[in-house]
Chain A
Amino acid sequence: MKNYFEINNVTFAASNKNKVENVSLKIENEGDVVCLLGPSGIGKTTILRTIAGLEKIKSGNIILNGKTISSGTIHIEPENRNISLSFQDNSLFPHYNIIDNIKFGAERNKRKTKKIHLDYVVEFLHLENIKFKYPHQISSGEGQRASLARSLLSMPNLLLLDEPLSNIDQNFKEEIQVKLKQILREYKITTIIVTHDSYEAFYLGSKCGIILDSQLKQYDDPYNLHHFPNSIEIVNFLNKGTLIPATVIDEKSLENKDLGLIEGDFIKHYPKGSKVKLLLQPEDLEHDDKSNLKLDVVDRKFRGTNFIYTLKTQSDLLIQVFVHSHHIHQHDINEKFGIKKPIHIDHIVCFD
């Protein structure tokens, strides 16, 4: 099947230090949303700028809707790609007010049959009160929302968003995320979002790519990224689990000297007796006050719907456990915390 968008073996380079090598990535369907995650300065923005045509490539190719837009020999100018990029620093035209800035986006979609209505975008991005203000009179978060509105209104063939919600207040952020997802789906706007917020990426993206050490390390759907990370670097980057040493007992279990037997289905075969690093995620462990497996509480975070306890094993390993916030007994720091035995994990992810 023909993919809507493809990057084939492209090295994205803003400088010798800042580059992402040999990237291949596909977006199968029009309207899909893909998120790129990675630490700051890794080259995520360079990827967006290159796709937009603001940077050239030396080898490989980038194909949009069956047409090569960049390769070693072809470079379609940014103004002729119908790709919209919403910059992180918003880049609003300083001498036009906000509504006029947003209207610039509408100029491009004049001929399209299905259009996003200006008022709709202004309303859902809460821009009514700043419509007639100038860019220097608004906050950076408001600027980002206005820039997003302008990009959405242009109804591009490909929408590129560079940290689109990074400066937006937390109370607006979740609401905008929901509406943004709706609007992208409703108008089938294919989108690539660059972010460093994994929650945002996992919510908005049907697929996510993680860029580390100048490479696209893993490109998969959010569920798989979380549950089946393909390298220790991804585990460390997502920071949502702990790697603990364990010994493989048989095809269904392994053992850690502090936590005892751990059961589940291995996603990869390891011979009996292998020494591995097991990925233990907070949702893998279950609290049990009556269990004889007791660990010391070293930290407790209240997250509204749940507590996140950080526990220390006898070998000084730190592991995290979720507990429902209505659980009647709260454990203070230095108190003992019971873990249900034997530990059962749906899928066992290990690394050599």
Chain B
Amino acid sequence: MIKKINIWYLSSLIISVVVAIPILVIFSSFFENTSEYRIILRETFLVDYIFNSLILLIGVMSLTSVIGIVCSYLISFYDFIGVNFFKWALILSFAIPAYIYSYSLSAFFENYGTAYSILKGIFGEANYNHYIPKPDGILGAIIALSFSIFGYVYVLTGLSFRYQSQNLIDLGKNLGFSKKKTFFKIILPAARPSIVAGLSLVAMETLSDFGSVSFFGVSTLTTGIYNAWITFDDLTLAYRLSFYLLIFIFGLLILENISRKKAQYHSPTKDSFEIKNKIKLFGYKSAFAFIFCFFIFFISFMFPLLQMGYWTYLFPKYLFELNLINLISNTLILVFFSCCLLITFGILSNYGNRITKSKFLQSLTTFSISGYAIPGVILAIAYISFISFLDENLLQSKNYNIKSLFIGTIFGLIIVYFIRFYSLANNGIKSGYLKINYSIDESAYLLGYSKIKTFNKIHLPYLKNSIFLVIILLLIEIVKELPITLIMRPFNFDTFATIAYAYASQDLLEAAAAPAIILILISSVFILITSRFILKDQT
């Protein structure tokens, strides 16, 4: 064991421990007392929180699976008007954070909102407010979340459909299956792991969503956690609720694993990468496919974009009031330093794991990156409590004030980003590494290459696409990120997301539109850059 400890081992260990801090803090809550709010909560709102979370979860998962699977099926197996456009256009929905979608939804359907203005423009003055539906509350949250995150199911299912063994599909034909039977008996079951992976991400995003549910006033476990912290100042209870939330998420994953048993779903043969001959659709079938995909594209991306654009056009003063240079430089600072840290340590950890082959280290990494499932709000407050604990118990006697260094500073914000997005960076780089057979390293050593030279000459050129992809994905996530930034940012430090949220929370949706549309445009550009990778083989 001692012999194994070297620089790689040590650095991987440190990263894993740092990233695991929030999980450890959450676990530690079971050794502390909670306030009376726990009893109040148990007797009053807890059932509501759980019920609302469940309804939200079921609603979002149902809607995203229908939209995601149907879109990816149409695009993977059929040729119709605009199919090549929709293939990448549908992933633009990733550019719309659920909270901005919620603002758009509210702005469009509210009394005297955009829908009213359109009807008035076409048909003249009337009491349209009475007839315009109001998708607020839990329905609004379900719609906003579903259309902004269905992309997970769409992308992952699409990958599985496109890479499914042609033999498998040919076998269906050979057995005389109809298209419908082939889809339900062969294609869909074979894509199940991908669908489940997509839905797991959807479930995690849904349960950890704060911006959208708080905007629509839906009480979920996440808002309960936030309330426990802010309103009742009971951090321990907040952690316990988070723990239950985590258990809930892991429970879903374990259930799926058990139900799958030992069935294998992938046949990674060379021919599975062949481009299948798509079925050409004509007439009404082609029109239906086009309309369906266009509807989803329009509702998920164009609608919030147009709504925000419309308001920015109506109220241009809010756009001119934005301190763009300041906002852009703030965003760039966060993106640059976070990416540097995440990529460096992601590589270090992966390379350390690869070299040491330590099972303990690999298990620790797996455990620590499971923090991805923890809502951003919890991550931030767990981090604050950890720093406070260090400050009060260990360092106060030495007159160090680490709070001022780690809390309410850009440095602190970047560290929590690091914890939040480490799994993304680590997994992105890992997926690149998984494609490099270990015997490749051994070949390099046997050709006289040192470990560093092997990394520079063999790994790095091979990983550059994965690293590029991870940087772009981090950029999109950081630009959109809201709860951590809200809690951790220094005074007067704003990003497009926090400005939009600040206006929206004051009911100034028309003012939130300008930062929101800039945020959408930035994200869209980077999504378009990465679309080639996202739709290819990076999962």
Contact = CB atoms under 8 A, between A and B. Distances in A.
Which of under 10, 10 to 19, 20 to 34, or 35 or more describes the interface residues of B?
10 to 19
A82 B437 CA distance: 22
Contacts of B437: 89, 91
A87 interface: yes
A12 B451 CA distance: 24
B538 to A, nearest CB: 15
B442 A95 contact: no
B306 to A, nearest CB: 43
Interface string B410-449: 0000000000000000000000000111011011111111
A242 B263 CA distance: 46
Of A89, A95, A108, most buried by chain B (CB within 10 Å of CB) is A95
Interface of B: 435-437, 439-440, 442-451, 458, 461-462
A91 B449 contact: no
B190 to A, nearest CB: 23
7 contacts: A79-B447, A79-B448, A87-B439, A89-B437, A91-B440, A94-B436, A154-B447
Contacts of B448: 79-80, 82, 107-108, 154
B446 A85 contact: yes
Interface string A66-92: 000000000001111111110101011
A107 B447 contact: yes
A150 B447 CA distance: 9
Given A79-B448, A79-B450, A89-B437, A95 B443 contact: no
A82 B448 CA distance: 7
Contacts of B458: 93
Contacts of A78: 442, 445-446
Contacts of B462: 93-95
Given A93-B458, A95-B461, A95-B462, A104 B447 contact: yes
B446 A52 contact: yes
B445 A79 contact: yes
Interface of A: 49, 52-54, 77-85, 87, 89, 91-95, 104-105, 107-108, 150, 154
Contact of A87 (B442, B445, B449): B442
Contacts of A80: 448
Nearest to A49: B442
Contact of A77 (B435, B445, B461): B445
A89 B447 contact: no
Contacts of B436: 94
B453 to A, nearest CB: 8
Contacts of A91: 437, 439-440, 442-443
A78 B450 CA distance: 9
Nearest to A106: B447
A94 B439 contact: no
Of B444, B446, B447, B458, most buried by chain A (CB within 10 Å of CB) is B446
A194 B447 CA distance: 19
A78 B445 CA distance: 6
A77 B442 CA distance: 11
A94 B440 contact: yes
B441 to A, nearest CB: 9
Nearest to A160: B446
Nearest to B462: A95
Given A94-B462, A105-B447, A154-B447, A54 B435 contact: no
Contacts of B444: 79, 93, 104
Given A93-B444, A94-B436, 12 more contacts: A54-B445, A78-B442, A80-B448, A81-B446, A87-B442, A89-B437, A93-B440, A104-B444, A104-B447, A105-B447, A108-B447, A154-B447
User: Top 8 closest A-B pairs, CB basis?
Assistant: A78-B445, A91-B439, A91-B443, A79-B445, A95-B462, A108-B448, A85-B446, A87-B439
A211 to B, nearest CB: 22
A278 to B, nearest CB: 46
Contacts of A85: 442-443, 446
A92 B435 CA distance: 13
Contacts of B451: 79
A104 B450 CA distance: 14
Nearest to B443: A91
Contacts of A105: 447
A85 B439 CA distance: 10
B443 A93 contact: yes
Of B437, B445, B448, B458, most buried by chain A (CB within 10 Å of CB) is B448
Contact of B447 (A84, A87, A95): A84
Contacts of A77: 445
B446 to A, nearest CB: 5
A79 B439 contact: no
Contacts of B450: 79
Nearest to A79: B445
A82 B449 CA distance: 10
B455 to A, nearest CB: 13
A77 to B, nearest CB: 7
A87 B443 contact: yes
A216 to B, nearest CB: 23
A90 to B, nearest CB: 9
B376 to A, nearest CB: 36
A83 B446 contact: yes
A107 B453 CA distance: 13
Contacts of B442: 49, 52, 54, 78, 85, 87, 91
Nearest to A89: B439
